């Protein structure tokens, strides 16, 4: 596992497709900011060849990987050690290679919580949260949200049974956090506007609005879509018409990357300036 004389430690984001990933840009900014000597590239792996590509990367001296679609479950299975939050998420987005071990972690939920609490200045302690969706993206953020000790977390999903499964899985963690955890189909939404509504459904990808009672949105609600794009998503637009404040997932992307960088380097970069730069690039791509 020598670095073959390379002055820079090697990292990459592995996925399929992966060419569109903003992670190399983000980590290059973090490296400049902190002075850490890293190189960070894209790594395209064929769908059937995740493990062999990771092994080749390790043999070439690679120190860590971010893992994106569709390999997060395989990365979870491939890791020899899992952080508690990766085990809870059932998925891994960050691998660190050290002393023959493959450490798997998941920084997505941390990134979401940090974006909401720090960048969007919305504390989660004691508030009522509605989580829409119960797939991989939703599962990955439940534990980090519970750890902020919200008053209530309601998980609502088109397929009610999947939301109920998450409620069972995280029942103990909720109890430890003093949080009331409930969930099911659309009828599980409780009366009164929520403080925070997180859209973790894949709906925004095809411009579909997840079913959600309009009364869940109010003037004091932060409506957060884990997706992002040059334009506000349909979920964000809908929330805004109901008087809520809306945010997309670009900040989550930056903050999950910052936490990965911290895992690898022991240095915490500042996400805010990189988020501002990405936001400008997204608004005016030709100016980038
Ligand atoms: P991901 O890893 O992005 O979470 P996933 O595990 O396939 O992907 O989960 C997709 C989530 O989006 C699920 O909660 C799904 O609801 P179902 O469990 O009922 O399938 C939700 N979803 C996808 N399209 C949706 C739509 N048009 N309306 C509402 N929910 C939708």
Q: Which residue of the set 29, 72, 103, 139 is catalytic?
A: 72
**DSSP label of 278:** H
Strands 94-98 and 101-105: antiparallel
Report the 10 Å Cβ neighbour count for 31: 21
The answer to whether residue 238 is domain-embedded is: yes
For residue 137, give the ligand 1 atom closest to its CA: 4
| 136 and 215 fall within a common domain | yes
* Structural contact between residues 239 and 221, judged by C-beta atoms closer than 8 angstroms: yes
Note the pLDDT of residue 149: 98
pLDDT of residue 3: 46
Residues 241 and 119 grouped into a single domain: yes
155 and 127 in a common domain = yes
The protein residue whose alpha carbon is closest to atom 29 in ligand 1 is 210
Same domain? 235 vs 269: no
Is 191 within a domain?
A: yes
Is residue 2 included in any domain, yes or no?
A: no
Residue 90 beta carbon below 6 angstroms from any ligand 1 atom: no
CA–CA separation, 82 and 141 (whole Å): 16
The reply to whether 102 and 206 lie within a common domain is no
How far apart are the CA of 217 and the centre of ligand 1, in A? 21
What is this structure's pTM?
A: 0.95
d(CA 191, CA 193): 7
User: Is residue 115 located within the same domain as residue 231?
Assistant: yes
Is 125 annotated in the active site? Answer: no
Please tell me if the CB atom of residue 137 comes closer than 6 angstroms to any atom of ligand 1.
yes
CA of 138 to the centre of ligand 1 (A): 9
Question: How far apart (Å, rounded) are the C-alpha atoms in residues 150 and 181?
Answer: 10
The ligand 1 atom nearest the CA atom of 205: 24
Q: How many angstroms is it from 203 CA to the middle of ligand 1? A: 7
Cα–ligand 1 centroid distance for 202 (angstroms): 5
- Whether 247 contacts 222, CB under 8 Å: yes
The CA-atom distances, in angstroms, between 9 and each of 65, 206, 259 are 12, 38, 17
Look up the domain containing 70 and give its range.
9-106+253-287
* 84 and 199 housed in the same domain: no
Residue 151 in any domain: the answer is: yes
Helix (H, G, I), strand (E, B) or coil at 48: coil
Ligand 1 contact via 134 beta carbon (within 6 Å): yes
Number of domains in the chain: 2
Looking at the structure, tell me whether residues 139 and 240 fall in a common domain.
yes
In this structure, are 132 and 27 located in the same domain? Answer: no
| 280 and 242 in a common domain | no
- Can you give the CATH number for the domain in which 23 is found? 3.40.50.10860
**The ligand 1 atom nearest the CA atom of 208:** 27
Any known ligand binding at 85?
no
One domain, residues 244 and 282: no
| Calculated CA dihedral for residues 135, 141, 147, 151, nearest 10 degrees | -70
Q: Is 135 annotated as a binding residue?
A: yes
- 38 within some domain: yes
129 lies in the same domain as 244: yes
Give the separation between CA 150 and CA 38, rounded to whole angstroms: 37
Do the annotations mark residue 256 as ligand-binding?
A: yes
DSSP code of 126?
T
Task: Determine the Cα–Cα distance for residues 32 and 39; give it in Å rounded to an integer.
Answer: 11
CB 23 within 8 A of CB 40: yes
Rounded (5°) CA angle 110-114-119: 155
Distances (CA, A) of 179 to 195, 209, 266: 15, 27, 31
- CATH number, domain containing residue 132: 3.40.50.720
The best mutation among 70, 108, 112, 133 to test binding of ligand 1, ranked by most ligand atoms within 8 Å of the C-beta, falls on 133
Q: Is 134 annotated as a binding residue?
A: yes
Helices (H), the chain: 23-34, 50-59, 72-78, 84-89, 108-114, 136-146, 160-169, 171-177, 234-241, 250-265, 271-283
CB-neighbour burial class of residue 252 (10 A; exposed 0-12, middle 13-18, buried 19+): buried
Query: Measured in angstroms, how far is the CA atom of residue 201 from the centroid of ligand 1?
Result: 5
Per-residue pLDDT tens, the chain, 288 aa: give them.
Answer: 444 555 899 999 999 999 999 999 999 999 999 999 999 999 999 999 999 999 999 999 999 999 999 999 999 999 999 999 999 999 999 999 999 999 999 999 999 999 999 999 999 999 999 999 999 999 999 999 999 999 999 999 999 999 999 999 999 999 999 999 999 999 999 999 999 999 999 866 677 899 899 999 999 999 999 999 999 999 999 999 999 999 999 999 999 999 999 999 999 999 999 999 999 999 887 654
pLDDT computed for residue 5 by the predictor: 52
Domain presence at residue 1: no
Whether 149 maps to a domain, the answer reads yes
């Amino acid at each position: 596992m020598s670095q073959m004389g390379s002055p820079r430690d090697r990292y990459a984001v592995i996925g399929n497709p992966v060419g569109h990933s903003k992670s190399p840009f983000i980590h290059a900014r973090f490296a400049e900011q902190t002075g850490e000597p890293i190189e960070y590239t894209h790594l395209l792996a064929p769908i059937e060849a995740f493990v062999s590509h990771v092994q080749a990367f390790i043999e070439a001296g690679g120190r860590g990987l971010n893992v994106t679609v569709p390999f997060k479950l395989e990365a979870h299975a491939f890791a020899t050690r899992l952080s508690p939050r990766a085990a809870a998420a059932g998925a891994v987005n960050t691998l660190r290679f050290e002393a023959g071990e493959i450490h798997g972690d998941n920084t997505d939920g941390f990134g979401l919580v940090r974006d909401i609490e720090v960048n969007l200045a919305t504390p989660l302690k004691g508030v009522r949260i509605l989580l829409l969706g119960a797939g991989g993206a939703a599962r990955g953020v439940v534990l980090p949200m519970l750890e902020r000790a919200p008053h209530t977390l309601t998980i609502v999903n088109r397929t009610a049974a999947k939301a109920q499964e998450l409620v069972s899985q995280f029942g103990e963690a909720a109890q430890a956090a003093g949080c009331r955890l409930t969930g099911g189909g659309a009828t599980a939404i409780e009366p009164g506007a929520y403080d925070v509504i997180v859209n973790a459904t894949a709906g925004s990808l095809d411009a579909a609005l997840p079913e959600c009672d309009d009364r869940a949105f109010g003037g004091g609600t932060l409506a957060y879509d884990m997706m992002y794009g040059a334009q506000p998503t349909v979920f964000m637009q809908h929330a805004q018409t109901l008087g809520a404040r809306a945010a997309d997932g670009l900040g989550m992307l930056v903050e999950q990357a910052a936490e990965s960088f911290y895992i690898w380097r022991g240095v915490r970069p500042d996400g805010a300036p990189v988020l501002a730069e990405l936001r400008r690039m997204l608004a005016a791509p030709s100016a980038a």
